[in-house]
C-alpha cells in the first residue's frame, strides 16, 4: 500500500475508533473482519478506545481476543480490571490476559508482589498461562513473607495438573519450611509409582500424616502400596519412635502400614483414634470458621482413607471371618455417616 494511502487510512481509522469497534462487534463476518484488520493497523493508538469498550461492552470475549494481539500496551489496563471490584469484568480480563501468554507474566507477577487484594485472580491468570509463569511464580513463592499469597500460589500449582510443574516442585517438598504447601501438588500430579521411587522416609511420613486437600484420597491410597519395602520399614520405625511425640501422626501412618499388610483389625484400630480426635475437634471448633474449615478438610481426607481400609477389610474378611467383617462394615457405616454429613454441610 502506498505511504499516502496508508496515512489516509490511519487518519480515517483514528477519527472513527468508536465506529470501527462497533463494526468489529457486528454479527456480520465481513464487517467485523474489515474492522478488525483496520484496528490492528492502528496498533497501540487503538488500545485506549478498545479498553474503554472492553470495560463497558457486553461482548468482552471478542474484544479480549482482539486486545490480546496488542501485547504489552493492553496488559496494564487489563491487570487493573483484574484488581478491580467488578467481578464479571475481572473474570473477562483474566481470559484476555491468559490469551496473551508470556507477555503478561511479568506485569502479573509485579501486581502480585504489590500486595493486591485480588491476588487469587492474578494467580489464576498466571496458572492459565502455564509453563512460562511457573519459574517466576516459584521465585515469588520463595521470596514472599505473605502466608496468604504462598497459599494462593500453592493452590494454583495444585490446580494446574502440569506434570512438568510437579517435576519443578519435587526438590522443594523436602524442605519442611516450604514443602507442605507444595506437597499436595506433587502428590496430585505425579504418577504414584514414579513418586514412590523418589521420596525418602521423612517425605513419605508427611504425605501420610499432613492435612492435604480432600481430592488427594485417591492418589494417596494408590501411592502407599507402591512404597519400597525399605520405606515401609523406615515408616514403621518412625511410627514407633515418635508415638509419644505425636500419637496422632503415628497412628495415621500405622493405619496405612497395617492396611498395606492386610492387618485389617489393626488398621481399623489405628485409624479410629485420629478419626475420633478430628470429629471431636471439629465439633468444638464449629463456631470458629477458619479452624472448622481446616478440620473439615482433614476429616474428609483422613476419614476417606480410613473408610477405604474399613471397606477393604470387610470385603477381605467376608468369607474367612464374617464376624470381624461385620464389625468393620458397621464401623464403615458410622464413618460414612460422618463424611456424608460433612459433604452436605455448606462450605
Instruction: In whole angstroms, give the CA distance from residue 82 to residue 110.
Output: 13
pLDDT, one tens digit per residue, over 199-241 is 899 999 999 998 888 889 999 999 999 999 999 999 999 999 9
Q: Is residue 173 pLDDT above 90, yes or no?
A: no
pLDDT, one tens digit per residue, over 18-53 is 788 777 777 788 888 888 888 888 888 888 888 888
Q: Is residue 5 pLDDT above 50, yes or no?
A: no
Provide the terminal-to-terminal Cα distance of the chain, rounded to the nearest Å.
61
pLDDT, one tens digit per residue, over 66-110 is 888 887 788 888 888 877 778 788 888 888 888 888 888 988 898
- Tell me how far CA of residue 254 lies from CA of 60, 221, 324, 326, in angstroms: 55, 14, 20, 22
Instruction: In whole angstroms, give the CA distance from residue 118 to residue 111.
Output: 9
Instruction: In whole angstroms, give the CA distance from residue 205 to residue 255.
Output: 12
E strands, the chain, where? none
- Tell me how far CA of residue 144 lies from CA of 109, 153, 178, in angstroms: 12, 11, 11
Instruction: In whole angstroms, give the CA distance from residue 258 to residue 269.
Output: 10
The predicted pLDDT at position 268 comes to 96
* Closest listed residue to residue 210, CA positions, set 242, 252, 156, 170: 252
pLDDT, one tens digit per residue, over 241-259 is 988 778 999 999 999 999 9
Torsion from C-alpha of 223, 228, 230, 232, nearest 10 degrees: 30
- Tell me how far CA of residue 154 lies from CA of 42, 67, 100, 269, in angstroms: 41, 29, 23, 34
CB 184 within 8 A of CB 212: yes
Place of cell 467481578: 87
Instruction: In whole angstroms, give the CA distance from residue 43 to residue 41.
Output: 5
Amino acid at each position: 500500500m502506498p505511504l499516502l494511502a496508508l496515512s489516509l487510512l490511519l487518519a480515517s481509522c483514528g477519527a472513527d475508533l468508536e465506529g470501527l469497534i462497533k463494526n468489529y462487534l457486528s454479527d456480520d463476518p465481513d464487517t467485523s473482519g474489515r474492522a478488525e484488520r483496520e484496528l490492528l493497523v492502528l496498533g497501540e493508538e487503538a488500545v485506549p478506545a478498545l479498553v474503554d469498550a472492553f470495560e463497558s461492552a457486553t461482548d468482552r470475549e471478542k474484544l479480549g481476543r482482539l486486545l490480546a494481539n496488542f501485547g504489552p500496551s493492553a496488559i496494564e489496563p487489563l491487570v487493573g480490571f483484574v484488581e478491580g471490584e467488578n467481578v464479571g469484568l475481572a473474570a473477562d480480563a483474566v481470559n484476555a490476559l491468559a490469551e496473551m501468554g508470556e507477555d503478561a507474566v511479568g506485569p502479573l507477577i509485579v501486581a502480585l508482589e504489590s500486595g493486591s487484594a485480588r491476588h487469587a485472580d492474578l494467580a489464576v491468570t498466571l496458572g492459565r498461562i502455564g509453563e512460562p509463569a511457573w519459574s517466576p511464580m516459584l521465585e515469588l513463592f520463595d521470596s514472599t513473607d505473605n502466608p496468604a499469597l504462598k497459599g494462593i500460589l500453592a493452590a494454583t500449582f495444585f490446580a494446574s495438573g502440569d506434570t512438568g510443574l510437579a517435576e519443578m516442585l519435587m526438590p522443594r517438598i523436602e524442605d519442611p519450611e516450604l514443602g507442605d504447601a507444595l506437597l499436595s501438588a506433587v502428590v496430585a500430579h505425579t504418577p504414584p509409582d514414579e513418586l514412590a521411587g523418589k521420596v525418602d522416609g521423612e517425605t513419605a511420613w508427611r504425605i501420610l500424616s499432613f492435612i492435604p486437600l480432600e481430592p488427594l484420597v485417591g492418589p494417596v491410597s494408590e501411592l502407599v502400596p507402591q512404597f519400597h519395602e525399605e520405606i515401609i520399614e523406615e515408616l514403621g520405625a518412625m511410627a514407633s519412635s515418635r508415638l509419644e511425640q505425636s500419637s496422632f501422626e503415628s497412628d495415621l501412618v500405622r493405619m496405612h502400614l497395617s492396611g498395606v499388610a492386610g492387618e485389617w483389625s489393626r488398621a481399623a484400630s489405628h485409624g479410629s483414634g485420629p478419626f475420633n480426635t478430628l470429629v471431636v475437634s471439629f465439633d468444638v471448633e464449629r463456631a470458629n470458621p477458619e479452624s472448622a474449615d481446616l478440620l473439615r478438610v482433614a476429616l474428609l481426607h483422613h476419614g476417606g482413607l480410613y473408610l477405604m481400609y474399613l471397606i477393604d477389610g470387610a470385603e477381605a474378611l467376608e468369607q474367612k471371618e464374617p464376624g470381624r467383617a461385620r464389625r468393620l462394615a458397621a464401623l464403615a457405616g458410622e464413618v460414612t455417616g460422618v463424611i456424608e454429613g460433612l459433604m452436605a454441610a455448606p462450605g
